[in-house]
Structure 1
Amino acid sequence: MTEHEGARTPEDLTRLFVERANAGDAAGIAELYERDAVMAYPPGGQTVGRDAIRALWEKVLADAPRFEPEAPLPTLVHGDVALTSTVARDGAGARAQVARRQPDGTWLRLLDQPEFVRADG
């Protein structure tokens, strides 16, 4: 197994996601999530757990999409929990994640909302 860099700040998670996605590393992306994390994707659904998140990204990355870094909005931190967000370059609106500091000081995603879909349309 490859040793991946851990997220030292909540904001590192977005950078590491882009690097790993562009390298086609679905397992590396999954390592950015807690074991029982919940990802609100595909739109209207949920993907639960690190293994399911890895499988989802294996499918998405099979088409070799290219990801660009997105500027973060201010991070809100309370103790060992952080809310991160970015404005989506692809027009999806915004993205938001809840991350939790781990015992070793690194951060992992617990909740991930990669796209917001309006309830009225």
Structure 2
Amino acid sequence: MTGSREKAEQPEDLARLFVERANAGDAEGLAELYEPDAVLGFPPGAETVGREAIRAVCEQMLAKAGGVKFELEEALPTLRHGDLALTATRPADGTGGRAQVARRQPDGTWLRILDRPEARG
């Protein structure tokens, strides 16, 4: 099913794709937004390492969300350095901040390598 999902052509696409897939209940699709050895700072206070572990934590997150819809948040300017990009959004839920590091893939698309979805301010 990997081939049928939209890929991030720009690092900024990752936030939109995350919201779309989360709202569709697609934990596998969420995990595909990450490199195989990515690190996700979730659940709060923990680190989840690797795409399969990220898929499992996304399944738990979606189950706990109970049909609550995710909203696309205001994007902050992306910082780029070669094949790396730092993206961030201003969270609507007051968690203090969200930041991700993405890396350009050999095919030109982008995947997350580090993701801190909840940084308390």
TM-score normalised over the length of structure 1: 0.94
Give the AA of the match of 1:29.
Answer: L
Runs of 4+ displaced beyond 4 Å: none
Q: Residue 71 of structure 1: CA displacement?
A: 1.1
Residue 33, structure 1, aligned to residue 34, structure 2: yes
Q: Residue 64 of structure 1: CA displacement?
A: 2.4
Tell me how far apart the structure 1 counterparts of residues 116 and 68 of structure 2 sit (CA, whole Å): 19
The answer for the alignment partner of 1:94 in structure 2 is 97
Tell me how far apart the structure 1 counterparts of residues 26 and 20 of structure 2 sit (CA, whole Å): 9
Give the AA of the match of 2:36.
Answer: R
Question: Structure 1 or 2: larger helix share?
Answer: 2
The answer for the alignment partner of 1:83 in structure 2 is 86
Stretches of structure 1 that go unaligned for 5 or more consecutive residues are none
Q: Residue 65 of structure 1: CA displacement?
A: 2.7
Q: Residue 66 of structure 1: CA displacement?
A: 1.3
TM-score normalised over the length of structure 2: 0.94
The answer for the alignment partner of 1:44 in structure 2 is 45
Deviations 1:13-33 (Å, cap 9, x if unpaired)? 000000000000000000000
Tell me how far apart the structure 2 counterparts of residues 10 and 47 of structure 1 sit (CA, whole Å): 21
Deviations 1:65-118 (Å, cap 9, x if unpaired)? 310000110000011000000010011011000000000000000000001135
The CA RMSD over aligned residues, in Å, is 1.0
Give the AA of the match of 1:78.
Answer: H
Stretches of structure 2 that go unaligned for 5 or more consecutive residues are none
Q: Percent identity?
A: 67
SS at match of 1:58: helix
Give the AA of the match of 2:90.
Answer: V
Tell me how far apart the structure 2 counterparts of residues 15 and 34 of structure 1 sit (CA, whole Å): 17
